[in-house]
């Protein structure tokens, strides 16, 4: 039995997210499984590093699948590129040890959220960034990023209702890069709760706009109340850039 690691890029705009949804043809996992099963003649199930929401994009989603097929990796990749929709691309295939698991062995992830910060929206950026026309204070946003870094209980920055599992997470780094009116916020961490990146992003935006303060972040960590954090920004500005694994 071979274990194949996949690195996948996709435009999530017309999909309901990564996770297979019954018989729906609108999930990326199901799209890939259908092609792999036809290609190998087996019932193939792929396991992703984690879910992405409806509308979220990926430049480096990672998944794995097991197969008895003897097909060469290059031929597999050619087949997948040929038969998958053009907005889903398998960028790399790699044979890995049988015990490798795309989700359980991930040690961290990098997400990027893109903001078009200009009075006039962009025709080209409209599907891949959130248009925010208001004035934003760079110093306040940077201060908010520093406050969100570190190990904290992020339940107040998630859409989880209740959780029996720990909601403590470590955010290693949040950086801001500006190219003209385009702001790119990168979030690197060991793991993220449901909607955590989008809510942190909404909080940073509201602090930059002056409707929240940096001190509010500490209060949200202490009380864990979701309604006191910022908005959940739309999914179409979010990209899963990279999933990290130990060498």
Q: Dihedral (C-alpha) 166, 108, 33, 236: value to the nearest 10 degrees?
A: 90
Reduced 3-state DSSP string for 65-99: EEECCCCCHHHHHHHHHHHCCCCEEEEEEEEECCC
Q: Strand 47-48 relative to strand 88-96: parallel, antiparallel, unpaired?
A: unpaired
Host H or E run for residue 239: strand 238-245
Active-site residue, selected from the candidate residues 53, 87, 137, 153:
53
Is residue 216 among the annotated active site residues? Answer: no
d(CA 141, CA 194): 22
Neighbours of 228 (CB within 10 A): 15
Q: What is the DSSP letter of 128?
A: T
Query: Which among 60, 1, 4, 13 has a CA at the least distance from the CA of 36?
Result: 4
Query: Which among 93, 103, 104, 105 has a CA at the least distance from the CA of 49?
Result: 103
* Residue located via tokens 């470590």: 170
Query: Which among 230, 219, 225, 231 has a CA at the least distance from the CA of 156?
Result: 225
d(CA 70, CA 3): 12
Which residues form the catalytic set? Answer: 53
């Amino acid at each position: 039995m071979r274990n194949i690691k996949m690195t996948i890029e996709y435009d999530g705009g017309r999909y309901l997210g990564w996770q297979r949804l019954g018989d729906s043809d609108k999930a990326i996992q199901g799209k890939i499984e259908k092609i792999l099963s036809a290609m190998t003649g087996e019932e193939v199930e792929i396991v992703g590093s984690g879910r992405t929401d409806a509308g979220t994009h990926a430049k480096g989603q990672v998944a794995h699948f097991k197969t008895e097929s003897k097909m060469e990796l290059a031929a597999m990749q050619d087949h997948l590129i040929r038969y998958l929709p053009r907005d889903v691309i398998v960028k790399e295939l790699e044979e890995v040890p049988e015990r490798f698991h795309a989700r359980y062995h991930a040690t961290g992830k990098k997400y990027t959220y893109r903001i078009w910060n200009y009075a006039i929206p962009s025709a080209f950026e409209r599907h891949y960034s959130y248009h925010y026309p208001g004035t934003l204070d760079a110093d306040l946003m940077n201060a908010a990023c520093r406050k969100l870094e570190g190990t904290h209980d992020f339940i107040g920055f998630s859409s989880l209702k209740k959780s029996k599992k720990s909601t403590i997470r470590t955010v290693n780094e949040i950086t801001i890069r500006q190219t003209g009116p385009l702001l790119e916020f990168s979030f690197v961490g060991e793991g993220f709760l449901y909607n955590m990146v989008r809510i942190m992003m909404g909080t940073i935006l509201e602090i930059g706009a002056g409707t929240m303060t940096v001190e509010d972040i500490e209060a949200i960590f202490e009380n864990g109340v979701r309604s006191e954090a910022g908005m959940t920004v739309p999914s179409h500005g979010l990209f899963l850039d990279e999933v990290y694994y130990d060498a």
